[in-house]
Amino acid sequence: MKQSFALLAVMLLAIAPAQGEEKHDHSAQPEKQQGMHDHMKTMRDQIAQIRGARDPKEKDRLVAEHMTTMEEAMARMQGMGCGKM
């Protein structure tokens, strides 16, 4: 058991540096980054509204609006080359 744990630990440590070597150049898309930051602020504001809502119908409406916002964010990330979410 200890040997298999040690082997697993060694394998994970060997893989970790290879995973961390991939670098991204985000400086080419500052306008997209700013748009994403604005989008995240909108989603945080929506979550705050959902938490504060007392009426179940209003809460459902806010959750649906938040889901739409999240779907838009995922579509934007795909457009930035982030892959399928």
Six-digit token pair at 59?
Answer: 């809460």
Domain boundaries, the chain: 55-85
pLDDT at 29: 64
Query: How many angstroms separate the CA atoms of 67 and 17, rounded?
Result: 36
pLDDT at 50: 92
Query: How many angstroms separate the CA atoms of 51 and 67, rounded?
Result: 15
Query: Once rounded to an integer, what is the mean pLDDT over residues 28-48?
Result: 79
Instruction: Find tokens 């959902």 and name the residue.
Output: 50
